[in-house]
Chains A and B, each alone.
Chain A
Amino acid sequence: MIQLSGVHKAFGANRVLRGVDLSLPKGQSMVIIGGSGTGKSVLLKCVLGLVRPDQGQITVGGQDVTQGDRDAFLARFGMLFQGAALFDSMRVWENVAFRLLRGPGRLPKAEAREIAIEKIRRVGLKPQVADLFPAELSGGMQKRVGLARAIAANPEIIFFDEPTTGLDPIMSGVINQLIREIVVELGVTAMTITHDMTSVRAIADRVAMLHDGLIRWTGPVAEMDQAVDPYLQQFIHGRAEGPIESVR
């Protein structure tokens, strides 16, 4: 479904991606792991077209992401941002219904609000939250609203950027469980980036490790612990010693 071939991206002299090859089949949940600053977010943004790769090709369902109708392409995606990225001038339900209220297939306000409240319930929040502003919510609630917004228009593909960063372990568990449920329930293709190994084990069907601008290892989550790659082993066990420099 999502295919990256020889993707390069540099910011000035900083070569973030140095030829990434990655394949994600339809309906699977892939988690990309790697240290901070290794280009995981850039990779995700390249797939969405928010960042243009310097070299290489990215296709989604066989379609080159740089070609064709952008709006139709983006309509296939939902995304949960690291800090939720909710629009703070809008109420929670307006955030969730943002896509439903705009564009060629926009719905009447009442219908969009009804769907938004249903999605808010789906992520475990009370309907009363719908009329609050994002600033009135806790970090965990904001993440859940971000998740509700990501699934509001029933996308085929959902991206999760560091979904549990900044949350306590219990809330992280709630978010992980919600993501897994939603991925299975909606049958979507999911790509998550994180360095939280608990999330990896809860969310992933497949894991890919990005290091030094390249995919070091990729395979099913069940094979991750047995893999012999020293970089992967150092990362998943959080060891200070190993081939990955601990001071970057």
Chain B
Amino acid sequence: MTRFLASLGRPVLAVLAAFGRVTLFALQTLRHLVTPPFYLREFGVAVLQIGWFSLPMVAMTAFFTGGALALQIYSGGSRFNAEAVVPQIVAIGMARELGPVLGGLMVAARVASSIAAEIGTMKVTEQIDALVTLSTNPMKYLTVPRVLAATLAVPVLVAVGDSIGIAGGWLVGVTKLDFNSATYLANTRDFLEAWDVGSGLVKGAVFGFIVATMGCYFGMNSGRGAQGVGAATKAAVVSASVLILAANYLLTAVFFTS
């Protein structure tokens, strides 16, 4: 019995310890975020890498998701004569949920992996040690610019994704489901509230923070060799994705349940 309890307790303790280490890492990042020096060039490069270069992927994901959502709502709604709600549900669904969650997950796949692989390789090749010997704090130089860039860039990606997703729904609605274009757009505009969009942007900021923090944490703690970097990359993507989904539930519960 004791052995059984110990075998249960060990992984629980390991998970709690890992959670504690990630939390401390995130708090350290926040502390360095508000204390100089600030590396503006690295921040600019990170915005470009995380934000600008993720745009095509997020845009395509949102476009196809918006289109598929319109088809699904039309098909499901037809069972109880509610086909007309397609514009409203597409808009609300994209802004509140699918825009931020799918955007966050796509950025996690692209950015958390690349950050973890880049920083992990830097660690393995002693570039992180070299930074320290050159009087440069790796947390400030590598982590802070990426976390700040992701926290600011992902909401912008979400906003773009929302717009393109709604456009995808409109295109399918107008070309395949016989909606009148002006009516579709009017319904979208009339039913979408500012907080629908705002809550999605807040989610995007939280997801961006999670993605970059996980990428940096696992990169900084990468094991030796190609296998170590590979494991760090995988752990960064998996943990960022799971945390995004968990954070999405918590934020939705906070924002939309009274």
Contact = CB atoms under 8 A, between A and B. Distances in A.
Contacts of B126: 81-83, 85
Given A49-B132, A85-B130, 8 more contacts: A74-B135, A75-B135, A77-B133, A79-B130, A83-B125, A98-B134, A98-B136, A99-B135
Nearest to B141: A102
A85 B136 contact: no
Contacts of B37: 102-103
21 contacts: A48-B132, A49-B132, A50-B129, A50-B132, A50-B133, A71-B135, A74-B132, A74-B133, A74-B134, A74-B135, A75-B135, A78-B133, A79-B133, A81-B126, A81-B130, A82-B126, A83-B125, A102-B136, A103-B37, A103-B135, A149-B134
Contacts of A75: 135
B229 to A, nearest CB: 14
Contacts of B28: none
Contacts of B122: 87
Nearest to B121: A88
Contacts of A85: 125-127, 129-130
B196 to A, nearest CB: 40
Interface string B162-204: 0000000000000000000000000000000000000000000
Nearest to A102: B136
Contacts of A126: none
A45 interface: yes
A77 B125 CA distance: 20
A75 B126 CA distance: 18
Interface residues of B, number: 12
A70 interface: yes
A74 B136 CA distance: 10
A154 to B, nearest CB: 14
A133 B199 CA distance: 43
A87 B127 contact: yes
B228 to A, nearest CB: 15
Interface in A182-226: none
B135 A45 contact: no
Q: Which 7 A-B pairs have the closest CB atoms?
A: A85-B130, A85-B126, A71-B135, A74-B135, A79-B133, A81-B126, A99-B134
Interface string A46-90: 001110000000000000000000110011011101110111100
Interface in B103-156: 122, 125-127, 129-130, 132-136
A83 B133 CA distance: 15
A45 B129 CA distance: 9
Contacts of B134: 74, 98-99, 102, 149
B135 A87 contact: no
Contacts of A102: 37, 134-136
Contacts of B136: 98, 102
A6 to B, nearest CB: 24
A50 B130 CA distance: 10
A49 B133 CA distance: 9
Interface in A80-110: 81-83, 85-88, 98-99, 102-103
A86 B127 CA distance: 7
B135 A81 contact: no
A69 to B, nearest CB: 10
B133 A70 contact: no
A75 B134 CA distance: 7
Nearest to A99: B134
Contact of B129 (A71, A81, A98): A81
Contacts of B125: 83, 85
Interface string B20-36: 00000000000000000
Contacts of B127: 85-88
Contact of B130 (A70, A87, A103): A87
A87 B128 CA distance: 9
Most chain A C-beta atoms within 10 Å of own C-beta, residue among B127, B130, B136:
B130
Contacts of B130: 79, 81, 85-87
A70 B135 contact: yes
Contacts of A98: 134, 136
Most chain A C-beta atoms within 10 Å of own C-beta, residue among B126, B130, B134, B135:
B134
A70 B137 CA distance: 10
A99 B125 CA distance: 19
A99 B141 CA distance: 13
